Amino acid sequence: MLDLNIDIRLQRGSFPVEMAVRITEPVSGVFGHSGSGKTTLLHCIAGLVKPDSGHMKLNGEIFFDVAKKQFTPPHKRHIGLVFQDAQLFPHLSVLNNLLYGYRRLKPIQRRFELKPVVELLEIGPLLERRPGQLSGGEKQRVALGRALLYSPQLLLLDEPLAALDGRLKRQILPFLRRVRDVGIPMLYVSHALDEILYLTQTVTLVDHGRIVGHGSCLDALTQADSTELADGMDLRNVWEVTILENNRQHGFSVAALGKQRIILPPAPASEGKTAIVSVRAAQIALSRQRIEGITIQNQLPGRILRIVSRRHGALVEIDAGVVVVAEVNGKTVGDLNLREGDGVYCLIKAQSVEYPDG
């Protein structure tokens, strides 16, 4: 459960920050360009930065209220924070890093024990080492474990993958998903939308020190209409599929996506296992009828839920068993006379499907 209510104003360097949002979704992302004020927002929530005015409430508890002269320091907020560069204590072993917050809890406050967390993040062999002897990805896993063992009522993640290269990112992503699934409310800050969408479809958009949108991707985008941030958002569909068949001879896999079958590039998972797939909204085309004699193998029938127009096109949300978002040229919406409730086929090239963590 999460109910974060924040309405704050402060001066950060030369630009004013004015942010108001209410977040009740247990897992959501904060998206914005570098320097837009995302980290400031996070630090205000954690209590590391004290706003000049406004108020903040988490799950009914007032943490900051300038009118009531109230400010709860970070160590009394019980909010965890994972930093971009892990910030492990270099003079402590991995084990003592992990237990740093855990030891400060009363036994009754502890929701997680060392062993399951170590297993979840696969850091068993590292326990005796010093942070200086760890790779970037290992450090970040330990930092996640350290925050988890503190059993925070809200876990803030500040660009935890930004310092890692593409290969390491893929390796850490599944761990983030595991952390998400243990049930701690999470706020994931990133300037990379694909990372956020990998974890959640709920975003808060931050632009020039303001919150310009909040909600599901399409809702937030609609609110943030015509900002440069919204225009630049490269939406992605992220689905969990179950692999049905790995056809090595012809180099493709077949998977179940909801009740539909979808052809994919060779899957990194074996038959019967699940995999996460991602397709850019701009890679999906729509047609009124099933098309014969075309190389696009996936033609998923569905019904249009809504159409959102943006500066360089239109976003069409379709219920095809799973929710599909397709980005098409604005003119074609008119040409095809697409409306909410209409039946369409989502055309997805197998080759446009990616495995973000595979």
Residues contributing to the site for other proteins (CB under 8 A) = 43, 46-48, 73-75, 78-81, 83, 85, 87-91, 100-101, 104-105, 130-133, 146-147, 150
In angstroms, give the least distance from the CB of 269 to other proteins: 35
Q: Count CA within 13 A, CB hemisphere, residue 263.
A: 14
In angstroms, give the least distance from the CB of 92 to other proteins: 8
Give whichever of 105 and 244 is closer to other proteins, judged by the CB atom: 105
Percent of the chain that is helix, strand, coil (3-state, to 5): 25, 35, 35
Asked whether 260 and 228 are in contact (CB, 8 A), the reply is no
Give whichever of 134 and 300 is closer to other proteins, judged by the CB atom: 134
Give whichever of 148 and 304 is closer to other proteins, judged by the CB atom: 148
Give whichever of 70 and 247 is closer to other proteins, judged by the CB atom: 70
- The DSSP letter of residue 49 is S
**Long-range CB contacts (within 8 A, 24+) of 159-165:** 159/39, 159/84, 159/189, 159/190, 159/191, 160/82, 160/83, 160/84, 160/188, 161/190, 161/192, 161/195, 162/84, 162/190, 162/191, 162/192, 163/84, 163/85, 163/136, 164/136, 164/137, 164/140
Give whichever of 93 and 332 is closer to other proteins, judged by the CB atom: 93
DSSP code string of 143-171? HHHHHHHT--SEEEEESTTTTS-HHHHHH
Give whichever of 58 and 205 is closer to other proteins, judged by the CB atom: 58
In angstroms, give the least distance from the CB of 243 to other proteins: 39
Q: Collect all residues with Cβ–Cβ distance below 8 Å to 176 and sequence separation of at least 6.
A: 144, 157, 160, 161, 188, 198, 199
- Rounded distance, CA 108 to CA 113, Å? 12
Asked whether 246 and 270 are in contact (CB, 8 A), the reply is yes
Is the Cα dihedral 142, 147, 148, 150 positive or negative? Answer: positive
In angstroms, give the least distance from the CB of 79 to other proteins: 6
- Rounded distance, CA 3 to CA 285, Å? 38
Q: Encoding tokens for residue 206? A: 């931050």
In angstroms, give the least distance from the CB of 262 to other proteins: 42
Backbone angles phi, psi at 81, to 5 degrees: -140, 125
Give whichever of 98 and 243 is closer to other proteins, judged by the CB atom: 98
In angstroms, give the least distance from the CB of 145 to other proteins: 12
In angstroms, give the least distance from the CB of 110 to other proteins: 12
Asked whether 268 and 253 are in contact (CB, 8 A), the reply is no
Give whichever of 51 and 302 is closer to other proteins, judged by the CB atom: 51
Cα 48 from chain centroid (whole Å): 23
In angstroms, give the least distance from the CB of 121 to other proteins: 17
Give whichever of 83 and 198 is closer to other proteins, judged by the CB atom: 83
In angstroms, give the least distance from the CB of 14 to other proteins: 19
